[in-house]
């Protein structure tokens, strides 16, 4: 920051219905910088000659703590969260203008929590009044994302360790769900299996609503109702990841609920698997996420022409986006505290080179609409996405989710083992 003052608000609590709130999950930027997971908290980081961190928190309160559990309090904010000064949140209105005063630059991200924006504007106006006779108040407003999100884009060793743990728990969850799956099972039963493993293993929560799509539901990209009964012969697509220590895994696997892929399912699956490998091969420091996307897209388009789903020639099919009805999303995104993590992937209108410490997903897919009459009936309703989590390294990449089975024969062997152990 050099000089300036940065202000971050915690996520407010959100009402779900009447007096029930959504489970609380701290704002990622706020947690990244404070490690504090309580609502009604504000951090003020003053840079310059005398840098200091000021935290405003809910004060200890014997009566409220009987209902809601212990609070960090003013003392804990100093002792456990690195604050130089801490105050009860009730004092924010009085103290924030003083903290803004004297700085030229204010780092703040408007538009995330509108009611926080109002409080900040109020404090800024007050600080101008205070500075009228003596001193100054901020005149340069800078989006805090410009520094915080840039920092979050490159993961530290500790962050990568948390991601590895999230991915390991997610591996166990995907395996448990596969082993549980049977023709006739409901998608929500498999979702329950995932959540059971997440929580049993110490994960706080799912990183996003688990997607369990059987049969044609596998072609719905964000199918989260998970209320269908899987039929014999269906593929099941599971896109699920847990959050561990505030870091998200994001993994997709697809398997045949009856244990064996049909010839058509095999064929589509293999194309997606090869497209994923093509994307992996394009990853290196210096290459961009666009390069990985282009590699996956090229392979999928080439193969869609090959099996007669779309018309060639390849270059024309690519430029006219003829693949779009079958592959309509990007091949990946940054991954971190947010499942679609922060960080720019373009700078000055150009794709941004990957760097060591960046984590991305690679997740090509092919989705054949159930009512697509341009393809033979046996292909309709097939949806395949294969998603892994990739750490960019000095020399290339590491697939952090490598150990979650995805080979065709490997998956069939796993399902055969599951059928056998349940028959016993
Ligand atoms: N689960 C959302 C995604 O894969 O991006
Ligand atoms: Mn996913
Ligand atoms: Mn993803």
**For the residues 56-63, what does the mean pLDDT come to?**
97
Let me know: does 37 contact 15? Beta carbons within 8 Å: no
Q: Is the peptide bond before 313 cis (omega within 30 degrees of 0)?
A: yes
Q: Could you tell me if the CB of 338 is within 6 A of ligand 1?
A: no
Instruction: Provide the annotated active-site residues.
Output: 19, 222, 239, 250, 329, 333, 340, 363, 367, 385, 387
pTM of the model: 0.96
pLDDT of residue 55: 98
pLDDT at 7 over 70: yes
**For the residues 168-180, what does the mean pLDDT come to?**
98
pLDDT of residue 422: 76
- Ligand 2 geometric centre to CA of 251 (Å): 5
Q: Could you tell me if the CB of 363 is within 6 A of ligand 1?
A: yes
- Ligand 2 geometric centre to CA of 228 (Å): 20
Q: Is 215 helix (H, G, I), strand (E, B) or coil?
A: helix
Taking residue 27's Cβ as centre, other Cβ atoms within 10 Å add up to: 23
Model confidence over 296-308: pLDDT tens digits?
999 999 999 999 9
Burial 244-272 (b: 16+ CB within 10 A, else e): bbbbbbbbbbbbbbbbebeebbebbbebb
Let me know: does 91 contact 56? Beta carbons within 8 Å: yes
**Which atom of ligand 1 is nearest to 208's Cα?**
1
Q: Could you tell me if the CB of 243 is within 6 A of ligand 1?
A: no
Query: In the block, which residue shows the tokens 């990449």?
Result: 397
Instruction: State the chain's mean pLDDT as an integer.
Output: 97
pLDDT of residue 417: 87
Model confidence over 309-363: pLDDT tens digits?
999 999 999 999 999 999 999 999 999 999 999 999 999 999 999 999 999 999 9
pLDDT of residue 230: 98
- Ligand 3 geometric centre to CA of 416 (Å): 28
Instruction: Point out the least confidently predicted range of 23-27, 132-136, 265-269, 275-279.
Output: 132-136
pLDDT at 424 over 70: no
* CA–CA gap between residue 400 and residue 397 (Å, rounded): 9
pLDDT of residue 133: 79
**Which atom of ligand 1 is nearest to 241's Cα?**
1
Q: What percent of the chain has pLDDT over 70?
A: 100
**120: its two tokens:** 């900040």
* CA–CA gap between residue 48 and residue 310 (Å, rounded): 60
Q: At what angle do helices 187-200 and 157-180 cross, to 10 degrees?
A: 140
CA dihedral 317, 322, 323, 329 (to 10 degrees): 120
pLDDT of residue 226: 98
**Which residues face 9 on adjacent strands?**
42
In Å, what is the CA distance from 366 to each residue of 230, 236, 277?
20, 14, 15
**For the residues 68-87, what does the mean pLDDT come to?**
97
Q: Could you tell me if the CB of 239 is within 6 A of ligand 1?
A: yes
Model confidence over 156-165: pLDDT tens digits?
999 999 999 9
Q: What percent of the chain has pLDDT over 90?
A: 95
Residue 406's pLDDT band (cuts 50, 70, 90)? very high
Q: Could you tell me if the CB of 389 is within 6 A of ligand 1?
A: no
**Which residues face 110 on adjacent strands?**
none
Q: Could you tell me if the CB of 250 is within 6 A of ligand 1?
A: yes
pLDDT at 253 over 80: yes
**Which atom of ligand 1 is nearest to 387's Cα?**
4
**For the residues 206-217, what does the mean pLDDT come to?**
98
């Amino acid at each position: 920051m050099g000089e300036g003052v940065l202000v971050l608000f915690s996520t407010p609590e959100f009402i779900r219905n009447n007096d029930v709130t959504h489970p609380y999950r701290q704002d990622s930027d706020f947690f990244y910088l404070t490690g504090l997971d309580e609502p009604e908290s504000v951090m003020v980081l003053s840079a310059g000659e005398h840098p200091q961190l000021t935290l405003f928190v809910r004060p200890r309160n014997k009566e409220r703590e009987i209902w809601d559990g212990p609070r960090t309090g003013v003392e804990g904010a100093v002792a456990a969260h690195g604050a130089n000064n801490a105050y009860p949140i009730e004092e924010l209105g009085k103290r924030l203008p003083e903290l803004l005063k004297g700085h030229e630059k204010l780092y703040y991200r408007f538009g995330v929590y509108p009611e926080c924006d109002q409080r900040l504007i109020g404090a800024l106006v007050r600080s101008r009044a205070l500075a009228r006779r003596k001193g100054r108040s901020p005149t340069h407003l800078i989006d805090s994302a410009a520094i915080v999100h840039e920092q979050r884009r490159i993961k530290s060793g500790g962050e990568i360790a948390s991601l590895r743990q999230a991915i390991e728990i997610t591996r166990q969850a995907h395996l448990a769900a596969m082993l549980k799956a049977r023709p006739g099972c409901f998608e929500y039963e498999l979702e329950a299996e995932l959540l059971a493993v997440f929580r049993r293993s110490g994960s706080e929560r799912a990183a996003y609503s688990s997607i369990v799509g059987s049969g044609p539901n596998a072609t719905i990209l964000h199918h989260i109702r998970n209320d269908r009964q899987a039929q014999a012969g269906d593929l099941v697509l599971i896109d699920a990841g847990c959050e561990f220590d505030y870091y998200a895994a994001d993994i997709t696997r697809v398997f045949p609920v009856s244990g064996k892929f049909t010839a058509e399912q095999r064929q589509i699956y293999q194309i997606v698997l090869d497209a994923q490998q093509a994307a992996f091969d394009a990853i290196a420091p210096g290459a961009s996420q666009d390069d990985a996307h282009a590699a996956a897209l090229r392979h999928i388009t080439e193969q869609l022409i090959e099996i007669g789903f779309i018309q060639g020639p390849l270059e024309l099919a690519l430029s006219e986006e003829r693949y779009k009805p079958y592959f309509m999303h990007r091949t990946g995104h940054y991954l971190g505290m947010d499942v679609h993590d922060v960080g720019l992937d373009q700078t000055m209108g150009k794709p941004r080179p990957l760097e060591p410490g960046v984590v991305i997903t690679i997740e090509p897919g092919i989705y054949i609409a159930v009512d697509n009459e341009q393809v033979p009936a046996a292909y309709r309703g097939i949806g395949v996405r294969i998603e892994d989590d990739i750490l960019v390294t000095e020399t290339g990449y590491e697939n952090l989710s490598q150990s979650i089975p995805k080979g065709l024969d490997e998956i069939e062997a796993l399902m055969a083992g599951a059928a056998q152990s349940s028959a016993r």
